[in-house]
Amino acid sequence: MKRIAVIGGGITGITTAYTLAKRGLDVTVYEKHRYAAMETSFANGGQLSASNAEVWNNWQTVMKGIKWMSRRDAPLLVNPKPSWHKLSWFAEFIAAIPQYEKNTTETARLAIAARDHLFAWAQEEGIDFDLKKQGILHIYRDKAGFDHAAKVSRLLSAGGLERRSVTPEEMKAIEPTLAGTYYGGFFTESDSTGDIHKFTNGLADAIQRLGVKTCYGHTVTELSADERNAWVTAHDGTEQSRDTFDGVVICAGVGSRGLAKKLGDRVNIYPVKGYSITVELDDEASQKAAPTVSLLDDATKIVTSRLGDGRFRVAGTAEFSGYNRDIKDDRIRPLTRWVEQCFPGVCTRKVVPWAGLRPMLPNMMPRVGPGRLPTVFYNTGHGHLGWTLSAITAELVAESVTGDSR
């Protein structure tokens, strides 16, 4: 039986371990935290959103980044302090602008393909993750934003996604609790939402039932490979161990760049920080005033999801400031303020803030497949669509490892 190591216990690592185990491989997962899904897979926006497949590689994004550098509460914030990593990443980001349309369409195609796998796994393994299949509504306050969204819709349609434009009156019918004045919107009925942390932990339980060895609390300190084997050295806080495998899959999020370097590969992931708040809907009035349909506000780069009856997740912003994981008040306040403006009946007295680092490659496409050596594989760099794409990229990397397409 082929022995495979998976480095990382977030959404991509756990889904990868699941697809490999289902194909009969002997799998070991290494995760530095004591539990699965404790970093970027902990409290994201909760959307499974093919409608958010637009990649960011366009001059409009570049100009906004420059314009907003002095605004600490900007939706897109770039720390002006230079580093070679950041400069090389942005150079490659700009170089990928000509692939904007192709990559947006391909991302939509992948996101649609991922749905069936993810829902089937949840049903097969009995995972309750607050799934809501009520669609996602994109909202626009002006004609310029709406017109750009119409162009994006054509790219998404080429990837197989159906979404329709809606009037302000139709928006109100779709989500009656939404306050404010809008030019129009786009509604994607096939999109959905849920709790990524619950899903990942449910699947983490499933892989243990399938015989996967889970090494939680193990930090990978050394990693090497040749044409025939891969070697993983890990430390559990007490002692160090070294094991030999037939192959290794890197699913380590923002840590993937450093691990890839050890293996002779260049995977230029940059950590792009995102923030979220979870509003606890402790009173009946707040529960009624909070939306049940998921929203995406393109102007502010804010997304929402309703998690059960008692929680309202609001997430967004993109911050280029290296590996800093600090939760900054001036990045959280705009999220709370947005809730108070768009849903004034929701009490924001009890709000839980969070920040995570999205692993982004310059062309906004995940790295999935083999590395330089035949024993090394990657499933990483999913950016803002980690959960949305995870099921299909896990299937693709499993096919690459086994040579078995299903």
pLDDT at 405: 62
323-330: long-range pairs with CB below 8 Å, 24+: 323/254, 323/271, 323/357, 324/273, 325/273, 325/355, 325/356, 325/357, 326/355, 327/275, 327/353, 327/354, 327/355, 328/72, 328/355, 330/72, 330/73
pLDDT tens digits, residue range 170-208?
999 999 999 999 999 999 999 999 999 999 999 999 999
248, 232 contact by CB (below 8 A) = yes
What whole-number distance in Å separates Cα of residue 228 and Cα of residue 247? 8
Q: Per-residue pLDDT averaged across 378-395, rounded? A: 98
- What's the helix, strand, coil split of the chain in %, to 5? 35, 25, 35
Domains and CATH numbers, the chain: 3-402 (3.50.50.60)
First-to-last CA distance in the chain?
A: 19
Task: Please say if the pLDDT value at position 70 is more than 80.
Answer: no
3-class SS of residue 191: coil
Q: If you search the block for the tokens 């015989």, which residue do you land on?
A: 211
What whole-number distance in Å separates Cα of residue 80 and Cα of residue 381? 23
Helix (H) or strand (E) holding 305: strand 302-307
Which pLDDT band holds residue 275 (cuts at 50, 70, 90)? very high
52, 297 contact by CB (below 8 A) = no
Task: Please say if the pLDDT value at position 222 is more than 80.
Answer: yes
What whole-number distance in Å separates Cα of residue 340 and Cα of residue 322? 30
Q: If you search the block for the tokens 């129009």, which residue do you land on?
A: 184
pLDDT tens digits, residue range 95-137?
999 999 999 999 999 999 999 999 999 999 999 999 999 999 9
Q: If you search the block for the tokens 């897109």, which residue do you land on?
A: 76
Residue 291 in tokens: 């939306």
Task: Please say if the pLDDT value at position 406 is more than 70.
Answer: no
What whole-number distance in Å separates Cα of residue 325 and Cα of residue 358? 11
